[in-house]
Amino acid sequence: MGQISRLLWLTRRAIRWLELAASDGLRQNGDPFELPALPTNASPLVAFDESSQSFAQWNEAGATSGYCRFEQAPSKSKVLVVSAFENERHEVIAHFSWGSWLEDRGKEVADGIWIRLSRPLYQQPWEIPGSWKDLSVACADQGVSLLEVLRKLVGRLRDHGNSKQGWAQRLLLLGFPVPREIGGTAERLHWLAVHLPRLAAGDDFSNGFRKNEMGYWATDRRNLSGSKRVRWLETACWSGEELEGRGRSSMELRSASVVIIGAGALGSCLAELLVRQGNRSLLIIDQEKLEAGNLVRHVLTLEDIGIAKAPALADHLNTVSPHCRIHGVESSLVSLSEEERSALSSAEVVIDCTGSDSVLRFLSELRGDKEHLMFSLSLGAYGRRIYCFFARGLTFPWDEFASAIRSWLQSPSEVVAPGDLHRGLGCWHPALPVRLDAVWMAAVVGLRCLETDLQKPSAYPHLSVFDQTPDSDGFPFLRRLAGPEGAGDG
């Protein structure tokens, strides 16, 4: 298409858009629902957790206004998360349980007012109100007197010189139900946030009024009306449904209680995949500390050198999702506390990423509280082969595992040339030459196999073997050499 033809096409599209806009035909039933653009993206970002489940709870609660509480997230940018909603009598009607990221390091910094509307907030034809007068009119169109609600509730938010809440104190949330598609049924609440003007306090009361709530409100009313601009803040829904909607594991895997033994290269990559695809609760066990040489194949960084791998990895993963509760234990299996051993015994999925026979022998002697899926994931020499062993039961079947994997480990491809065993000065353990991309491939294969086995359980132990040997051009491709149904194409 030449430049002239392209310009003509764009012009015709623009004219068609204007025709549809003039006839209110831009939004068609079935199109994705989108809110009008906010006139600002001022900080802080206000994050909330609303889903189809909480929407049903809101409908049961019945309240249409009240107070809300915010916590400041431990992030590099300014982020406030909604932690609770109260009705006008200060009774909690919704409390949000965020993950360790906020629970361990967040701090409550603000109170606000919330108002629930019956439909999306906008003014004709399709824009967010820009002034306080426009906002009041848009609320009145839904039968809500904005100024009357604020008059009843702002007294609690006044700063009389003893508040520690600072700039974040005066926030207003306006919520309404939204569908996924235009014309569809509403699925959850969405909240818009407004930074309220400075509320009157102290000696800041209107002339002709006493120093009381009536005098303060007379001042506030002037600031909350007329052509004064509304300061909108950016908001975002951080529910699991929303954040994980771009790609997550099966429900069987996401909802399982998982223990990972081994927080080395393979264990850290697999844990990262699990968390980013929806697992919110992991117990990670490893007794080693992170060394600089680990970084070439590990998800941790220089800031974690000298720190125990398991707790450091847990801290890292807790920053991946606001809903995660990842716990790391610096311990060998033998030295686990009674509580930690109980968590291991009762887990639905136990994953071994150590490549250690002694760990698997220990698991064969540890009797679980219930039948669980046991999964051993390991890499062969140079990372060419991936071994995935699955079993269900109260203990790990060591004899079956050893019998299944023995012939594979004795094959010529698993022999490492002496010159390829890198050994640092004073280092007692040789580091096998395995690249990070091979480790990630093994983690991906392990995750896929784990998901498949949870969805289609096998009643007997089985070993799957995969090969990622490069082709003649040096590009690796994956083949399954063995699996529960028998050998593959190798």
Using one digit for the tens of pLDDT, what is the confidence trace for 6-18? 999 999 999 998 8
Sheet containing 479-483, strands listed edge to edge, beginning at the edge strand earlier in sequence: 325-330, 281-286, 258-261, 349-352, 372-379, 385-393, 462-467, 479-483, 486-487
Which is more confident, 206 or 151?
151
The highest-confidence range among 325-334, 405-414, 448-457, by mean pLDDT, is 325-334
Would you place residue 60 in the very low, low, confident or very high pLDDT band (cuts 50, 70, 90)? Answer: confident
Mean pLDDT of 396-411: 92
Which is more confident, 208 or 400?
400
The percentage of the chain sitting over the pLDDT mark of 90, rounded to a whole number, equals 59
Least confident among 137-141, 271-275, 293-297, 379-383: 379-383
The highest-confidence range among 103-107, 261-265, 377-381, by mean pLDDT, is 261-265
Strands (E), 15-127: 42-48, 65-72, 79-87, 92-95, 107-116
Would you place residue 489 in the very low, low, confident or very high pLDDT band (cuts 50, 70, 90)? Answer: very low
Mean pLDDT of 127-152: 95
Which domains are assigned to the chain? 25-243 (no CATH), 247-412+428-487 (3.40.50.720)
pLDDT of residue 41: 66
pLDDT at 383 over 90: no
pLDDT at 425 over 50: no
Residue bearing tokens 């990070």: 436
The percentage of the chain sitting over the pLDDT mark of 70, rounded to a whole number, equals 91
pLDDT at 282 over 70: yes
pLDDT of residue 427: 36
Would you place residue 485 in the very low, low, confident or very high pLDDT band (cuts 50, 70, 90)? Answer: low
Which is more confident, 185 or 158?
185
pLDDT of residue 30: 87
pLDDT of residue 470: 80
Please give the helix or strand (H or E) that residue 270 lies within, else none: helix 265-276
| Residue 288 DSSP label | P
- In angstroms, the Cα distances linking 471 to 271, 466, 474, 478 are 29, 15, 5, 10
pLDDT at 486 over 50: no
pLDDT of residue 426: 37
